[in-house]
Structure 1
Amino acid sequence: MTVLILTGQEDVTADMVVMHLNAASVPVVRLDPADLTAGAALSGEYVHGSFHGHLSTGGRLVSIHGLRSIWVRRPGVPAARAAQPSAWLTEEASQALYGMLRGCTARWMNHPDAARRARHKPWQLRLAQRSGLPVPATLITTFPQAAREFAERFPDLVVKPVSGAHPQEPPRAVPTSRVAPDTDFSAVAYGPTLLQRRIAKRADIRLTAVGGTLMAARKETPADADPDEVDVRFATSDVPWRPAEVPPRVAAAVHTYLREAELAYGAFDFAEDADGTWWFLECNQSGQFGFIEVETGQPLARTIAEWLARPAPRDHEQTDGRRTVTP
């Protein structure tokens, strides 16, 4: 049976996983939904109570019922490279592709429905609380007065986007920034604003979860670090990421989070304070892992490949593609 990876051909992080699948002689097909009608094709037939579907890309034809797992890695916008792309064609291609794939018994990393829900940061924060993870005091608001009162209660704040990258072309990451003490907050009325108590961190933590396997990496904050550099993605520090042990209570809470979120993969970001507490910041359901593997040597790509290579569930074991969160 075949592993289907939905991503672009230029995705070098996916290459790391493909290498391990090839080494294990596991058939793998890589398809970018952006290529539909322009190098990639699909077909599905629903006749006499049965379904038969096929995908074609790069000269290869694969049966949808012959898929053991589907890795939704970094798929392009469906039919974006069509001869005459349009919003209508994108919606048609999206419903055709993902609708057919939802009908098979393959294991998902991650199921599109679970992934869509997991992107919502307010939902993440509440699930993290319910799962037992410490969450910094947070306010999401369009009320300027609420922001002012929150700043009085928690004078040291950061501001970050609610949704993530700014939707320009190409998308631009918006850094988490420290809030100036004299901020007026009037502009809060023009759009939802996420304010969060700043954690005086001694390290950043990236915990990568693959099924039931958890691997954490730690990046220590230098003693002379600029206190205004609160976003590790944009910090000037050259301190490397190093492997770290996952505290048992954190591990238990992360497993609960993954189970409730119905995720097979998650990249968790934490801030470690002076007491050693790991404060939950977010969980990216499709977060990058290549840079962590390169710096720490942790076998993340191999672990993902092993999860993808497992057999698909039998029909009677799975009626909903989201039931794929297994160790």
Structure 2
Amino acid sequence: MTVLILTSEEDVTADMVVVHLNASGVPVVRLDPADLTGGVSLSGEYVHGSFRGHLSAGGRLVSIGGLRSVWVRRPGTPAGRAAQPSAWLTEEASQALYGMLRGSDARWMNHPDAARRARHKPWQLRLAQRRGLPVPATLITTFPRAAREFAERYPDLVVKPVSGAHPQDPPRAVPTSRVAPDADFSAVAFGPTLLQRRIAKRADIRLTAVGDRLLAARKAASPDADADEVDVRFAAPGLPWQPVDVPPRTAEAVRAYLRDAELAYGAFDFVEDADGTWWFLECNQSGQFGFVEVETGQPIARTIAEWLALPATGEEGTAHLNGRNSAVS
């Protein structure tokens, strides 16, 4: 059975996983939904109570019924590179592709419905709280007065986007920034603003979860780091990422988070304070992992490949949900 990877051609991180799948002899097809109606074709037939579907990409034909897993990595907008792209064609292509795939028995990393829900940062924060992960005091508001009162209670704040990336082509990441002590919050009225108590960190933590496997890396804060550099993505080069053990309570809470979110993969960002507490910031359901593997040597790509290579739901008498096995009666 075949592993299907939905991602862009430029996604070199996916190549790391493909190498392991090829080495283990697992068939893999990689395609970008943006190439639908061009380099990618599909067909599905619903006749006499059964379904037969096929995808074609790069000269290869794969049966949808023969998929063991689907990795939704960094796919482009369906039919985005068609000869005559349009919002209507994108919707048609999306309905056709993901609708057919939803009807298969393949395992998902991650299922589109779960991934869409998991992108919402307010939802993430509440789920993290419910599962016992420490969350910094946070306010999301369009009320300037609420922002001013929050700043009075928590004088040291950062501001970050609610959604993550700025919607331009290509998307740009918006850095987390410190809020000035004399900040004017009147502009809050013009758009939802996320304010969060700044954690005086001694390290950043990236925890990559693949099924039940948790691989954490720690990047210690430089003693002479600028206090205004709160976003590790944009900070000056410093100490390297190092493998670190996950505290048992954090591991239990992260696994509960993944179960509730119905995610097979998640890239969790934490900051570690002076007491060693890991404070939850966010979980990216399709976060990058290549930079962590390169610096730490942690086998993240191999772990993903092993998860993708597991039998599909119902195959060989076993069901697999988020990397966990349960016997099928």
TM-score by length of 1: 0.97
- Which residue matches 1:92? 92
1:282 equivalent in alignment to 2:279: no
Check whether the contact 1:222–1:237 (CA below 8 A) recurs between aligned residues.
no
Cα-Cα RMSD: 1.1
1:272-313 C-alpha deviation (Å, 9 max, x unpaired): 000000000000000000000000000000000000000101
| Distance of 2:186 and 2:46 partners within structure 1 | 56
- Which residue matches 1:233? 233
1:83-126 C-alpha deviation (Å, 9 max, x unpaired): 10000000000000000000001000000000000000000000
| Distance of 1:88 and 1:18 partners within structure 2 | 33
1:62-92 C-alpha deviation (Å, 9 max, x unpaired): 0000000000000000001111000000000
1:3-23 C-alpha deviation (Å, 9 max, x unpaired): 000011221100000000000
Q: Give the drift of 1:324.
A: 2.8
| Distance of 2:318 and 2:140 partners within structure 1 | 40
- Which residue matches 2:327? none
SS in 1 for 2:173: coil
Check whether the contact 1:40–1:55 (CA below 8 A) recurs between aligned residues.
yes
Check whether the contact 2:311–2:318 (CA below 8 A) recurs between aligned residues.
no
- Which residue matches 2:322? 325
SS in 2 for 1:235: coil
| Distance of 1:325 and 1:298 partners within structure 2 | 20
| Distance of 1:94 and 1:324 partners within structure 2 | 24
Check whether the contact 1:225–1:237 (CA below 8 A) recurs between aligned residues.
no
Q: Counterpart of 1:105 in structure 2: which amino acid?
A: D
| Distance of 1:317 and 1:192 partners within structure 2 | 45
- Superposition pairs of residues 242-257 of structure 1, within 5 angstroms: 242-257=242-257
1:239-270 C-alpha deviation (Å, 9 max, x unpaired): 11000110000000000000000000000000
1:12-51 C-alpha deviation (Å, 9 max, x unpaired): 1000000000000000000100000011000000111111
Q: Counterpart of 1:79 in structure 2: which amino acid?
A: A
1:56 equivalent in alignment to 2:56: yes
| Distance of 2:135 and 2:249 partners within structure 1 | 14
Percent identity (aligned)? 82
| Distance of 2:171 and 2:8 partners within structure 1 | 16
- Which residue matches 1:142? 142
SS in 1 for 2:46: strand
> Which of the pair has the greater relative contact order for Cα pairs under 8 Å at 6+ separation?
1
1:156 equivalent in alignment to 2:189: no
| Distance of 2:268 and 2:312 partners within structure 1 | 27
Task: List gaps (5 residues or longer) in structure 1.
Answer: none
Q: Give the drift of 1:237.
A: 3.0
Q: Counterpart of 1:152 in structure 2: which amino acid?
A: E
- Superposition pairs of residues 298-309 of structure 1, within 5 angstroms: 298-309=298-309
SS in 2 for 1:259: helix
| Distance of 1:10 and 1:133 partners within structure 2 | 35
1:130-159 C-alpha deviation (Å, 9 max, x unpaired): 011000000000000000000000000000
Q: Give the drift of 1:317.
A: 7.2
SS in 2 for 1:145: helix
Task: List gaps (5 residues or longer) in structure 2.
Answer: 325-329
- Superposition pairs of residues 16-27 of structure 1, within 5 angstroms: 16-27=16-27
- Which residue matches 1:267? 267
- Which residue matches 1:9? 9
SS in 2 for 1:227: coil
Q: Counterpart of 1:300 in structure 2: which amino acid?
A: I
Number of positions where the alignment pairs a residue of Structure 1 with one of Structure 2: 323
Check whether the contact 1:42–1:97 (CA below 8 A) recurs between aligned residues.
yes
1:192-243 C-alpha deviation (Å, 9 max, x unpaired): 0000000000000000000000000000001111000000000003211000
| Distance of 1:324 and 1:190 partners within structure 2 | 42
SS in 2 for 1:279: strand
- Which residue matches 2:310? 310
| Distance of 2:280 and 2:10 partners within structure 1 | 32
Check whether the contact 1:35–1:82 (CA below 8 A) recurs between aligned residues.
yes
